[in-house]
Structure 1
Amino acid sequence: MAGFFSRYKLSLSRQELILVLITIIWGGTFLTVHHAMKFSGPFFFIGVRFAAASLLLGAIFWRSMRGMTWQEVKAGTLIGLSISLGYGLQTYGMQTITSSQSAFITAMYVPLVPLLQWIFLGRMPGLMSWIGVLLAFIGLLLLAGPSVGSVAFNVGEIVTLLSALAIAAEIILISASAGRVDVRRVTVVQLATASLFGFLLMLPNQESVPPFSPYLMWSAVGLGVASAIIQVTMNWAQRSVSPTRATVIYTGEPVWAGIVGRIAGERLPAIALLGGALIVLGVLVSELKLKRKKAAQEPAPLKCDNA
C-alpha cells in the first residue's frame, strides 16, 4: 500500500498550499449559510453575498478594469452563471439539510465528472474513476439515510447534488480560461454575474426581499469577503495547478465543514459520518491514475542515447 501511494507526488507548491488554506475558509462558510437561511431566501442571499464580493474587488482593482476584453467578459459571465447555480442550489438545499451533509454531498462533483465526460464526450472513465464513483455513491446513500428497502432522497439532498454539477462546471471553466485572461478583471465580472443571476432566480422561486436583520447583513458581507478571497485565489492558483490536483485539494473542504459543524453542535449519525468518509475517499480515488511499470521491462534509456 505504501508503495502504491509513493508513486504520487505529495509535496505542495506555494499555489497548492494556498488552495489548502482556501478549503478551510470554504468549509467554514457552510455553517454561516445554513444559519442565514433562517432570515432570508436562498437566492436573495446569494445575490447580496456576491454583490458584496464584486463591489469589494471592484474597489480594489478598479484601475485594471479599463483594459477589459471581450474574452474576459465571456469567461467571467460563464463562470459567474455556474457559480450562481452552484451556490444558489446549494444554499436552497441547506434549508432542509445540515451544513455537514451539504458539504459532503457537494463533494460528489469530482467523481461525477468522469461520468459526464463519458455521456457527453464519449470518454470512457478509467478503473480508478469507476471505483471512485462507486465509493462516493455508496457514501451518498449512507449520508442521505434512505429508508429501509428503498432509496428516498429529500428535496434538499437532490438539489445539493445538482449544485455539485454546476460547481464542477465552474472549476472546468476556470481552468479553460486560466492564463488567457486577467485574473482581477475576470473575477470581478464572474462575481457580479453571480450576483445578478442570484437576484433573477428570486422570481421563479417566488422570493421576496426579507426584512432587515443585522445577522443577515453581516453574514452576507462576511461571506462576500470570503467569496472574493476564494474566487480570486482559485483563478490565480489554477493558472499553474492542474484541475486534477486542484480537485484533490478541494476534497478537504467537506472535511473542514464537518469539523466546524460538529464544533457548532451538529451531530450526524455514525452511518452518515461513514457515508461522508466514503465520499471523500471516492473523490481521492477517482483522481488517482494507475501507472504501468515500464522501467523493469525496457532497456536503460542511456544506452539508447549513446548508440
Structure 2
Amino acid sequence: MTRIQANLLLTLVALIWGSAFVAQSRGMADVGPLLFTGVRFLIGALVVLPLAVLEWRRLGRQGRPLTPLDGTHIAGLGLLMTLGAVMQQVGIQFTSVTNAGFLTAIYVPLVPVLAWLLLRQVAHWSVWPAAAGCLVGAFLLSGAHELDVGLGDLWVAGSAIPWAVHVLMVGRWADRMGAPFLVACGQFAVCGLLSLAAAFTLEPVRWAGLVAATWPIAYTGVLSVGIAFTAQVVAQRYAQAADAAIILSAETLFAAAFGFALLGERLDSAGLVGCGLMLACILLVQLLPLVGTLRRRQILTTPSN
C-alpha cells in the first residue's frame, strides 16, 4: 500500500467515525456506557474474526507465529482502547456531541509530542502548524466558542491521552507483527471483555435496554469498530502516526457534515472557517513532505555541469 492509499483509507475511517457520534449519543438513552462499549467492541471482534483466523493460519504456514510479547502488545492496545472508548462514552452522557467532537480532537497535537517524548521521532515541520490548525478548526467547527467545561467535557478530554498513545503505537506494533487483522481482532476482544466485565459490576444490565439500543450498537459495532478501526490498523502500517492523527481529526468535520445532512444542523461563518482550516491543514501535512521529496529527487536526477 502506498502512502497516498493509506491516507485515503484513513480519510474513510474519519468519515465513518464522524458518522458514529450521533449513534453513540443516542445509544446512551437505553444502556450504560460500559455495556454499550463492551457489546459494540465484541461485535467488531466478530466482524474481523474470519480474517484474523486466516491470518493466524498464514503466519503458521510461514513459520512465524505470534510470540507472547506480541500478545502482550495486543493486550496493551486493547487496554488503551478500553480507556479511550469508555472515558469518551462516559463523557458523552454529560456533554453535547458538539463538545465531544471538539474535545476528542485534542489527541491530534498530542501524537507528535508523545512521538518525540516516547520514541524520539521528529516529525516533519509541517505537522506542528497542521496539528495546531486542526485543533483550532475543530473548535470553530464545534460552535463551542464559549465552552463551559463540565464533568462530561473533562471525561472526553481525558480520553484524548489513551487515544493518542493508541494512534502512536497501533501502526508500529501491527507492522512489526505483520498481522493487522489479528491485532485488530485481539484489541477489540480485550476492550469488549474488559468493558463488559466492568458493566456487569458497575451498571444495571437489562436485556430490554440492549434491544432498544440495537441499531446504535450494531452501527457502531460493525462500521465504527469492525470496519473503521481495522482499516486504521491496516493503513497505519504505511502512514506516520502524526500524519494519521491529523487525517483522523477530520472525523469532527464529517460529524458536522452528517449533522447537516441528517439532522438539519447548520454551520455559522465560524464553522465554515473551521472546516476550511481543517481541510487546509490536512492537505498541508500531506503535500509539503511530498514537495520536499520531489525536490530532492529532482536535484539527484539533474546532471551537474
Q: TM-score band, normalised by the shorter chain? A: 0.7 to 0.9
Task: Tell me the secondary structure at the aligned position of residue 264 of structure 1.
Answer: helix
Question: Aligned residue for 2:171?
Answer: 175
Seen in structure 2, the aligned counterparts of structure 1 residues 218 and 156 have a Cα distance that, compared at 3 Å, is: same
Question: Aligned residue for 1:212?
Answer: 208
- Segment of structure 1 superposing worse, 72-81 or 56-65: 56-65
| Unpaired stretches in structure 1, ≥5 consecutive residues | 1-10
Asked whether the 8 Å contact 1:131–1:282 carries over to 2, the reply is: no
Q: Quote the Cα distance in structure 2 between the aligned partners of 1:117 and 1:60.
A: 30
Seen in structure 2, the aligned counterparts of structure 1 residues 144 and 162 have a Cα distance that, compared at 3 Å, is: farther
Seen in structure 2, the aligned counterparts of structure 1 residues 283 and 116 have a Cα distance that, compared at 3 Å, is: farther
Show CA shifts across 1:51-110 (max 9, x none).
111123224533544644323312211111111111211111211333343223212211
Choose the corresponding residue for 1:17, options 8, 29, 40. 8
Which protein has the bigger helix share?
2
Q: Quote the Cα distance in structure 1 between the aligned partners of 2:208 and 2:238.
A: 43
Q: Quote the Cα distance in structure 2 between the aligned partners of 1:279 and 1:202.
A: 40
Letter in 2 for 1:41: G
> Structure 2 matches for 1:54-93, cutoff 5 A?
54-65=45-56, 67-93=65-91
Seen in structure 2, the aligned counterparts of structure 1 residues 271 and 36 have a Cα distance that, compared at 3 Å, is: farther
Show CA shifts across 1:193-244 (max 9, x none).
111222244478x322134243413332332211111222122222222223
Q: CA deviation at 1:31?
A: 1.0
Asked whether the 8 Å contact 2:134–2:249 carries over to 1, the reply is: no
Seen in structure 2, the aligned counterparts of structure 1 residues 274 and 166 have a Cα distance that, compared at 3 Å, is: farther
Question: Aligned residue for 1:252?
Answer: 250
Question: Aligned residue for 1:42?
Answer: 33
- Cα RMSD for the two superposed structures: 3.7
The answer to whether the aligner puts 1:186 opposite 2:177 as a matched pair is no
Query: How many residues align structurally?
Result: 288
Show CA shifts across 1:252-292 (max 9, x none).
21111111123333747748736954883796499587999
Seen in structure 2, the aligned counterparts of structure 1 residues 301 and 246 have a Cα distance that, compared at 3 Å, is: same
- Segment of structure 1 superposing worse, 78-87 or 13-22: 13-22
| Unpaired stretches in structure 2, ≥5 consecutive residues | 58-64
Highest Rg: 1 or 2? 1
Letter in 1 for 2:304: K
Asked whether the 8 Å contact 1:107–1:251 carries over to 2, the reply is: yes
Q: Quote the Cα distance in structure 2 between the aligned partners of 1:19 and 1:282.
A: 16
- Segment of structure 1 superposing worse, 66-75 or 24-33: 66-75
> Structure 2 matches for 1:132-281, cutoff 5 A?
135=133, 143=142, 145=144, 152-181=148-177, 182-202=179-199, 206-213=202-209, 214-226=211-223, 227-265=225-263, 267=265, 270=268, 273=271, 277=275, 280=278
Identity percentage over the alignment? Answer: 24
- Segment of structure 1 superposing worse, 39-48 or 103-112: 103-112
Seen in structure 2, the aligned counterparts of structure 1 residues 38 and 239 have a Cα distance that, compared at 3 Å, is: same
Task: Tell me the secondary structure at the aligned position of residue 62 of structure 1.
Answer: helix
Seen in structure 2, the aligned counterparts of structure 1 residues 125 and 153 have a Cα distance that, compared at 3 Å, is: farther
Seen in structure 2, the aligned counterparts of structure 1 residues 98 and 263 have a Cα distance that, compared at 3 Å, is: farther
Asked whether the 8 Å contact 1:109–1:167 carries over to 2, the reply is: yes
- Segment of structure 1 superposing worse, 27-36 or 61-70: 61-70
Seen in structure 2, the aligned counterparts of structure 1 residues 247 and 157 have a Cα distance that, compared at 3 Å, is: same
The answer to whether the aligner puts 1:33 opposite 2:33 as a matched pair is no
Asked whether the 8 Å contact 1:104–1:279 carries over to 2, the reply is: no
Asked whether the 8 Å contact 2:111–2:167 carries over to 1, the reply is: no
Letter in 1 for 2:215: W
- Segment of structure 1 superposing worse, 16-25 or 165-174: 16-25
Q: Quote the Cα distance in structure 2 between the aligned partners of 1:266 and 1:201.
A: 37
Q: Quote the Cα distance in structure 2 between the aligned partners of 1:179 and 1:121.
A: 16
Seen in structure 2, the aligned counterparts of structure 1 residues 139 and 154 have a Cα distance that, compared at 3 Å, is: farther
Seen in structure 2, the aligned counterparts of structure 1 residues 72 and 186 have a Cα distance that, compared at 3 Å, is: farther
TM-score, normalisation: structure 1: 0.75
Seen in structure 2, the aligned counterparts of structure 1 residues 74 and 278 have a Cα distance that, compared at 3 Å, is: farther
Seen in structure 2, the aligned counterparts of structure 1 residues 93 and 127 have a Cα distance that, compared at 3 Å, is: same
TM-score, normalisation: structure 2: 0.76
